[in-house]
């Protein structure tokens, strides 16, 4: 029998009351067990982005007793085609965990039990994305707010209910495309990484497309209460602004990118935000943007109150290698030359680390400008030099030559023949029209968006990968007819490849068989809204979308009407694709290790140890030492002496002794944890939690958040 309205009102609490009741019960229990919570208060642990927890309950001595505490099914996973991911680093505030589901919905759960408190059901006509988490804001004048990126929108959610805060922006949200538009550009912008917050100011970057039609990459600040725009920093300077002369005169109109997609760090004492930026678009050709191209590929130190540039450092001049700064900066304090120095560090896809004084921007360790080869492509003008840090030493190998080919590669002779016909052997070799160019480490690292952890002894722990990638430039004929092929070459080929095959590890899927897996309606939706790292192409007409989908099936259909593409968003070249290089058995062609974890003592810059991260079980059974694997995600380090990290293709979650680099615990996850773990305590119990989304590197997709602890009977 159905409950009467009176019974429903009596026995079923509102979501807000349930939230407050959860806080009360957790707090009541904690009063008798542990006097306070230990939070994971922001992305990568907080404003410094150091992935560090002061908790010491779990140690190398007792970590073997770590057990499953709870599992939360967040929902939204594609368990048929395995296209969804979860890259979220959840935050934990006073016993409540806030994260993002496999279906890109924000949620709140009880951090002791995994019981759901609320989850959003947002439906917006916006590009798809994979979120790395949310940000929490607790003002003195109203209830706490969770800031959440859903596609192109920044939402302000009531932390107790998940409902939009109607007084923020347009009924609870801001459309981040507004203000980034330029003539001829597409409208792809997503907020994939949590924003930074300082007092009442939100500092926001965006991910934009990497094609020649990309939006502007401006960094912006908004009022946390109203959503009002406070300031804008132009990463491609306008006339009269510092850096304008490092571009061609009209580039601020017809070039996009140079955006901050990877996350920022905040010095709350000084009111400085440290903003990394990526490449200008198009990633692999810059003949239409001659010059060093400030502020692409830079670390920017900005005054949060005004948006004024305090200092900058450019890690790659005139980038044509897609060498974005891949992760948020780390803020910490070292003892250098007998003095305490507050420093900021950044990692590179190339395997370098740059370390600067936070206030002056002066390098802590020497950096040298070294000459590199010029481009042989007509119209391209590479920088004569690139900045190379002399110390610390690189955490990834820098060259790939014949002697670096894996000795047990299944088709070694063929690999060497191909290598001899390619450009290889050093960093920053410009791509050619006539030869393949080998990137080592590959186009996505080296370091990648998982970033690095820093402990209280100023030791940094860096996950990295070392897999070769090759590519070349392909000319695009401006006079070509408006057909499915011409549209594919211009917009899709640089990722999905000349032959529509994607790459071998499935990070970028092939599309030749897509029509056999998906309906035409779903394929059109994916093309319109994007999915994962694929941008949206909704600026294409209905006829153009149909022509593209026909071409991926092998049919070149002409589109009626004039060829509409403007010279403002047209590059004369595209790339042949991001091709990760594997042998005929599917293993990287380079010598192992293919994935590593490195410890560097930052007071001196000396490497302490480096170990393989991940393994192929079938190779281990053959007696081959663990090789490491391709990886995505980051570590967490604790005062208890442990580094927790998943990230690997083998779907394992591991704890390392931070002194030795030895594995002291591991557990199989329900899907690969291509994310960063969070560490927290509630009621005297320390937990470690990881999002298990899989979906990359040909691994299955999942939707579980998994938490481990030593059990309720253990106290600090």
Query: Does residue 655 sit in the same domain as residue 682?
Result: yes
Write the DSSP string, 354-416.
EEEETTT--BSS-EEEEE-PPP-STT----SEEEEE-SSPPSS-----GGGB-TT-TTHHHHH
The answer to whether 415 and 583 are in contact (CB under 8 A) is: yes
CA 72, 76, 80, 85 torsion-angle sign: negative
**Cβ neighbours, 10 Å, residue 81:** 13
Same domain, 4 and 94: yes
What are the beta bridge partners of residue 272? 267, 303
Reported confidence tier of residue 511, pLDDT bands at 50, 70, 90: confident
204 near 154, Cβ under 8 Å?
Answer: yes
Distances (CA, A) of 538 to 13, 56, 522, 555, 689: 42, 50, 14, 21, 37
In this structure, is residue 574 part of a structural domain?
yes
For the segment 584-613, what is each residue's pLDDT rounded down to a tens digit?
Answer: 999 999 999 999 999 999 999 999 999 999
- In whole angstroms, give the CA distance from residue 220 to residue 227: 11
Are 16 and 91 found together in one domain? Answer: yes
Q: What does the pLDDT look like over 160-200, one tens digit per residue? A: 999 999 999 999 999 999 999 998 888 899 999 999 999 99
Q: Which of 144, 160, 127 is nearest to 15 (CA)?
A: 160
Tell whether 666 is covered by a domain.
yes
**pLDDT tens digits for range 2-20:** 344 333 333 334 545 454 4
Q: Summarize pLDDT for 427-472 with one digit per residue, the tens.
A: 999 999 999 999 999 999 999 999 999 999 999 999 999 999 999 9
Q: Are 12 and 48 in the same domain?
A: yes
Domain that residue 515 falls in? 473-580
- For residue 541, the domain's CATH number is 1.10.760.10
The answer to whether position 438 is within a domain reads no
Mean pLDDT confidence for 17-46: 62
Query: Quick one: 654 and 614 in the same domain?
Result: yes
In a domain, 531, yes or no: yes
- Phi and psi dihedrals of 119, rounded to 5? -150, 140
| Residue 1's pLDDT band (cuts 50, 70, 90) | very low
Single out the residue in 531, 550, 580 at which a domain terminates.
580
Same domain? 554 vs 498: yes
Question: Average model confidence (pLDDT) for the chain?
Answer: 90
Residues 6+ apart with CB under 8 A from 77: 84, 102, 103, 671, 693, 701, 702, 703
Asked whether the bond before 441 is cis by omega within 30 degrees of 0, the reply is: yes
How far from chain centre, in Å, is Cα 171? Answer: 29
Distance, in Å, from the CA atom of 53 to the CA atom of 38, rounded to the nearest integer, reads 9
Tally of domains in the chain: 2
Give yes or no: residues 568 and 673 share one domain. Answer: no
Per-residue pLDDT at 409:
96
pTM of the model: 0.90
Tokens of 21: 């009741």
- CA gap 377, 364 in Å, rounded: 37
419 lies in some domain? no
Say yes or no to pLDDT of 158 above 80. Answer: yes
- Residue among 282, 324, 707, 254 nearest 490 (CA): 282
Inter-axis angle of helices 484-491 and 542-552, nearest 10: 90
* pLDDT at residue 34 tops 90: no
Same structural domain, 600 and 575: no
Tell me the longest C-alpha to C-alpha distance in the chain: 80
Cβ neighbours for 420, distance < 8 A, ≥ 6 positions apart: 402
Q: What residues form DSSP beta bridges with 339?
A: 336
715 and 626 co-located in one domain: yes
Per-residue pLDDT tens digits for 272-304: 999 999 999 999 999 999 999 999 999 999 999
Is 59 in the same domain as 17?
A: yes
Judge whether 416 lies within some domain: no
Nearest CA-CA partner of 45 in 597, 644, 447, 692: 644
Q: At what angle do helices 542-552 and 520-529 cross, to 10 degrees?
A: 110
Angle 405-406-409 from CA coordinates, rounded to 5°: 110
Pairing of strands 52-53, 635-638: parallel
Residue 700, phi then psi, degrees to nearest 5: -70, 150
End-of-domain residue from the set 580, 604, 624: 580
Stated length of the chain: 716
Q: Specify whether 575 is located in the same domain as 600.
A: no
Q: Is residue 234 in some structural domain?
A: no
Q: Helix (H) and strand (E) counts for the chain?
A: 10, 41
CB atoms within 10 A of CB 691: 34
pLDDT on residue 478? 59
566 compared with 666, residue with greater pLDDT: 666
Q: Is residue 134 part of a domain?
A: no
639 and 689 housed in the same domain: yes
Domain end position, chosen among 580, 610, 644 = 580
The 10s digit of each residue's pLDDT in 307-353 is 999 999 999 999 999 999 999 999 999 999 999 999 999 999 999 99
User: End-to-end distance of the chain based on CA atoms, in angstroms?
Assistant: 49
CA 634 to chain CA centroid, nearest Å: 10
Q: 280 pairs with which residues across the strands?
A: 257
């Amino acid at each position: 029998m159905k409950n009467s309205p009176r019974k429903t009102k009596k026995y079923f609490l509102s979501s807000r009351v349930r939230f407050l009741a959860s806080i009360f019960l957790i707090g009541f229990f904690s009063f008798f067990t542990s006097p306070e919570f230990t939070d994971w208060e922001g992305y990568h642990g907080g404003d410094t982005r150091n992935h560090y927890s002061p908790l010491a309950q779990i140690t190398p001595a007792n970590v073997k007793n770590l057990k499953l505490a709870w599992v939360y099914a967040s929902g939204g996973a594609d368990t048929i085609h395995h296209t969804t991911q979860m890259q979220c680093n959840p935050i934990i505030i006073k016993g409540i965990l806030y994260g993002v589901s496999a279906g890109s919905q924000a949620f709140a759960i009880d951090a002791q039990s995994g019981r759901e408190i609320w989850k959003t059901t947002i439906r917006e006509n916006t590009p798809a994305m994979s979120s790395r988490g949310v940000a929490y804001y607790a003002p003195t004048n109203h209830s706490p707010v969770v800031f959440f990126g859903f596609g192109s929108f920044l939402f302000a959610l009531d932390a107790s209910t998940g409902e939009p805060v109607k007084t923020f922006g347009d009924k609870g949200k801001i459309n981040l495309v507004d203000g980034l538009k330029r003539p001829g550009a597409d409208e792809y912008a997503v907020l994939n990484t949590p924003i930074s917050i300082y007092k009442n100011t939100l500092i926001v970057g965006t991910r934009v497309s990497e094609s020649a039609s990309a939006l502007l990459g401006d960094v912006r600040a908004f009022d946390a209460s109203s959503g009002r725009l406070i300031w804008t920093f132009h990463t491609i300077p306008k006339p009269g602004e510092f850096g304008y002369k490092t571009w061609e005169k009209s580039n601020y109109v017809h070039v996009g990118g140079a955006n901050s997609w990877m996350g920022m760090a905040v010095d709350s004492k000084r009111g400085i935000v440290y903003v990394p930026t990526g490449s200008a678009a198009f990633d692999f050709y810059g003949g239409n943007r001659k010059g060093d191209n400030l502020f692409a590929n830079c670390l920017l130190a900005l005054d949060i109150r005004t948006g004024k540039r305090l200092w900058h450092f450019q890690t790659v001049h005139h980038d044509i290698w897609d060498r974005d700064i891949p992760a948020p900066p780390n803020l910490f304090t070292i003892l250098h030359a007998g003095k305490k120095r507050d420093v900021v560090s950044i990692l590179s896809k190339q395997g370098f680390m740059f370390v600067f004084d936070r206030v002056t921007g002066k390098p802590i360790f020497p950096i040298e400008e070294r000459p590199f080869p010029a481009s042989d492509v007509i119209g391209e003008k590479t920088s004569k030099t690139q900045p190379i840090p002399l110390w610390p030493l690189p955490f990834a190998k820098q060259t790939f030559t014949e002697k670096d080919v894996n000795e047990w590669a299944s088709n070694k002779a063929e690999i060497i023949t191909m290598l001899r016909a390619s450009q290889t052997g050093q960093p920053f070799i410009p791509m050619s029209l006539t030869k393949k160019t080998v990137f080592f480490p590959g186009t996505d690292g080296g370091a990648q968006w998982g970033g690095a952890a820093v402990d209280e002894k100023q030791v940094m722990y860096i996950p990295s990968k070392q897999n070769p990638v090759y590519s070349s430039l392909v000319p695009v004929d401006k006079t070509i007819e408006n057909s499915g092929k011409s549209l594919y070459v211009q917009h899709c080929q640089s990722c999905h490849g000349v032959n529509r095959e994607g790459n071998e590890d499935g990070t970028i899927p092939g599309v030749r068989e897509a029509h056999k897996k998906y309906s035409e309606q779903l394929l059109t939706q994916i093309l319109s809204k994007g999915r994962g790292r694929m941008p949206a192409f909704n600026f294409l007409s209905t006829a153009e979308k149909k022509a593209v989908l026909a071409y991926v099936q092998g049919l070149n259909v002409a589109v009626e009407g004039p060829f509409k593409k403007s010279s403002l968003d047209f590059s004369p070249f595209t790339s042949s694709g991001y091709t990760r290089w594997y042998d005929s058995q599917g293993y990287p062609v380079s010598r192992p290790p293919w994935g590593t974890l490195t410890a560097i003592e930052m007071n001196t810059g000396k490497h302490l140890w480096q170990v393989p991260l991940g393994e192929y079980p079938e190779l281990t059974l053959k007696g081959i030492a663990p090789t490491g694997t391709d990886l995505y995600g980051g570590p967490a380090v604790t005062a208890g002496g442990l580094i927790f990290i998943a990230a690997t293709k083998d779907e394992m979650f591991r704890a390392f002794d931070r002194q030795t680099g030895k594995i002291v615990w591991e557990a199989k996850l329900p899907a690969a944890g291509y994310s960063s773990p969070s560490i927290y305590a509630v009621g005297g119990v320390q937990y470690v939690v990881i999002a298990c989304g899989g979906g990359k590197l040909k691994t299955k997709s999942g939707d579980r958040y998994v938490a481990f602890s030593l059990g309720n009977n253990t106290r600090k």
